[in-house]
Structure 1
Amino acid sequence: MIENISLVLAILYLVYRIKTYKKVNKIIEERIETVHKPFFKRVQNVLECSEDEAEKVALALDKYFVPLESEFYKVDSCNYSFVDAGGLEGTFSIDQNYNIVSLIYNGIDLLSLHKY
């Protein structure tokens, strides 16, 4: 009898977890579509590169907390600047493999902080 109750409880728990994960996955997908995709597109437009390369740069910028609502501008072939919604400015540069070489945001070199 106790084994049957345990089995029913385990099945109910699994059903609950599946429904919960579906809700969480839907929220994550909506966030990707409404927030991250436009961010990736703005990076792609300024870098004039493929989606994969833009995503690589955008994820690196996101890793260092560059605001997702930032607007990007091209300075020269490998240097770019950005301005967030609050008016704070930053610059970053990339190499030919689309790796971030320098990232200065609000006067602070974020890449040098990451080394320590």
Structure 2
Amino acid sequence: MSAPATDLVVVTDATFEHEVLRQDRPVLVDFWAQWCPPCHMIAPVLAEIAAERAGDLLVRKFNTDENPLVAREYRVMSLPTLMLFRDGAPIRSLVGARPKAKLLAELDAALTS
């Protein structure tokens, strides 16, 4: 399998603080791995959401196999894990692939609470 085909910003252990924690908008981080079929299934959905919500939500990709430190720090145990950050703190964690409408509903609920 090839890497997910997206134009999303790829984050590493070294860039996580700058690309996620210091952003002035909410950031959805996709913790994924090459060997994870559901990760590849949700990748196009995340690319669509990133394009549609570009003004108010950032979407980042984080390969847990290549960057174990941040994944361990945030206790990412299953993939894909989507973690929503606001003001440098995680506010919601969603585990597993889901349809776009359900994902958007969960994100909107988290962002308005």
Higher helix share: 1
Q: Could you say which TM-score interval applies, normalised by the shorter chain?
A: 0.3 to 0.5
Higher strand share: 2
TM-score (ref. length: structure 2): 0.33
TM-score (ref. length: structure 1): 0.32
Higher relative contact order (CA 8 A, sep 6+): 2
Greater gyration radius: 1
